[in-house]
Chain A
């Protein structure tokens, strides 16, 4: 595996982890606190002929952005390996509206993983409004890249809605 050479110093094996499982179990400081009101936070993957879509629902906007991130991470399949110390990272992004903000956030997360080799262990929204998002993450360096490459998160059929107390997002990825 040539991918390992980029990140892993000689002789270090790293901790083995399944990306898909990891993605589903990312704890989120913002998630769960609203579920008592009956809201549901979840994501599912959407079929697309060549690519893939994700749909997320959540009772709050904060949770929606975390759920969408979890959906994205679950697609980066394969067996990875983490090594090194857990680090703190803050991602701050701005956009013209909520829909664009979602795409920009997910692309930023992808860049952190695919270009910088950092895997998020957990994340929490610090602040979010129509034009800006600040997300705090704890990340761990990856010893091997996820098996699947996501080229980008697209603006195709993009949707973020807030109706009857429920937030919903739909976004398609270029694989």
Chain B
């Protein structure tokens, strides 16, 4: 090991972690060349492949490496939160109808897509270069949306020529799709405000309707990751990097392979930004169809959009020295502090909004980044509740139960493309997100602003 591992967790979480291989993965990451500071894990840490899920690691721009496995297959999987002017009780009478409209308008589940969206190769290349900006240029959103997305919804340096034909093929049909598994679309209400002053800046108020979108770069991202893992397996051998797990294969940041991966990764990240932007447009369309008001009149606007599988160059101060680092976040969210230039001007006084979805039956949280987090975790925090049970164990627990009815009894409407997915995604399969964000708050690496409760859940 070249450095320490540092895991943010409470006692019960640590006990659960000992039973799986996540801690070994934290240790493996600590062996990679050029790592700066500790190999970090956020409180939603669980066993991943290569890096742990919830893992954060920063690498020196000159001495360090970049690892596709440290970003993951679903490049720029992320979360977007929309606000509205609506009160939850206004929505109650038409909630079923709205859930149906969202389920109809936003393709979810394996293989689904909108018939009215067909990309030519030339258009797809533009998506990869421009990200959410491409969608806005097509009339799917506005300039204000772009200001409220991490990196403005477009990573620089994207080069579509570095993607395989296969990656482009897989992407073409999948732009504007939610996907399956843990991806979801949720109508929520603001259940509790912890910090009224901060909530006010974010435009949140009690009882308010919000919408969360959780999806990523779909098959295009998976293919980019797989293609570059094969390249990195050769590169690691060539550059004499020894690997405790092949999934950690990597290349120096300043090598041709390292630079090419980052340019290809940026394409996939931009695809994901465009994906969430298109889905936003269809969420607005669905609300308009059901409530017969314009999206603008309903105040449906983007609060923020965060990546949680990404590697990016950032400036950090380590032991008093400013350094340019490539920060890998694998199932972790950037959480920049108040005053940071990369935080949109409207939020700069309070810090970057951080969106933490929980499971489909309980809560989600809105936090902001802190100065302490910027120092201790390279401005990173958790990304969700983190899985507790395997899919098999979750299915066993769900067997014989009517999950849809259980949720309905708690006032939650469910629309799902697949029954199996619902069983695997039951609340009990996840840690209680409240415990996770409490650890974040106590450790000072994030500040809780508001709690959201699901009203309607669309699962792929």
Given A77-B420, A155-B229, do A114 and B72 touch, yes or no (CB 8 Å)?
no
Instruction: Report whether A111 and B166 are in contact in the complex, using a CB–CB cutoff of 8 Å.
Output: yes
Given A49-B47, A148-B420, do A6 and B249 touch, yes or no (CB 8 Å)?
no
B317-333 residues with Cβ-Cβ distance < 8 A to A are none
Q: Give the number of residues in B that approach A within 8 Å (Cβ atoms).
A: 51
Contact among A2, A47, A147, A154 for B421, CB-based, below 8 A: A147
Q: Could you give, for residues 408-422 of chain B, a 1 whenever the CB lies within 8 Å of some chain A CB and a 0 otherwise?
A: 000000000111110
B383-407 residues with Cβ-Cβ distance < 8 A to A are 387-393
Given A78-B418, A107-B226, A147-B418, do A154 and B107 touch, yes or no (CB 8 Å)?
no
Q: Chain B residues near A78: list those with CB within 8 A.
A: 418, 420
Alpha-carbon gap, A155 to B166, bound state (A): 20
In the complex, how many angstroms separate the beta carbon of B229 from the nearest chain A beta carbon?
6
Instruction: Report whether B393 and A47 are in contact in the complex, using a CB–CB cutoff of 8 Å.
Output: yes
Instruction: Report whether A48 and B390 are in contact in the complex, using a CB–CB cutoff of 8 Å.
Output: yes
CB of A28 within 8 A of chain B?
no
Instruction: Report whether B74 and A96 are in contact in the complex, using a CB–CB cutoff of 8 Å.
Output: no
CB of A119 within 8 A of chain B?
no
Q: Could you give, for residues 134-146 of chain A, a 1 whenever the CB lies within 8 Å of some chain B CB and a 0 otherwise?
A: 0000000000111
Contact among A49, A77, A111, A156 for B387, CB-based, below 8 A: A49
Instruction: Report whether B109 and A175 are in contact in the complex, using a CB–CB cutoff of 8 Å.
Output: no
Q: Chain B residues near A47: list those with CB within 8 A.
A: 390, 392-393
CB of A12 within 8 A of chain B?
no
B222-274 residues with Cβ-Cβ distance < 8 A to A are 222, 225-226, 229-230, 233-234, 245-247, 249
Contact among A49, A52, A144, A148 for B20, CB-based, below 8 A: A49
Instruction: Report whether B49 and A3 are in contact in the complex, using a CB–CB cutoff of 8 Å.
Output: no
In the complex, how many angstroms separate the beta carbon of B43 from the nearest chain A beta carbon?
15
Q: Chain B residues near A15: list those with CB within 8 A.
A: none
Alpha-carbon gap, A47 to B387, bound state (A): 13
Instruction: Report whether A148 and B110 are in contact in the complex, using a CB–CB cutoff of 8 Å.
Output: yes
CB of A157 within 8 A of chain B?
yes
A28-67 residues with Cβ-Cβ distance < 8 A to B are 45, 47-52
Alpha-carbon gap, A158 to B420, bound state (A): 27
Q: Chain A residues in contact with chain B, CB under 8 A?
A: 1-3, 5-6, 45, 47-52, 77-78, 96, 99-100, 104, 107, 111, 114-115, 117, 144-149, 151-152, 154-158, 172, 174-175
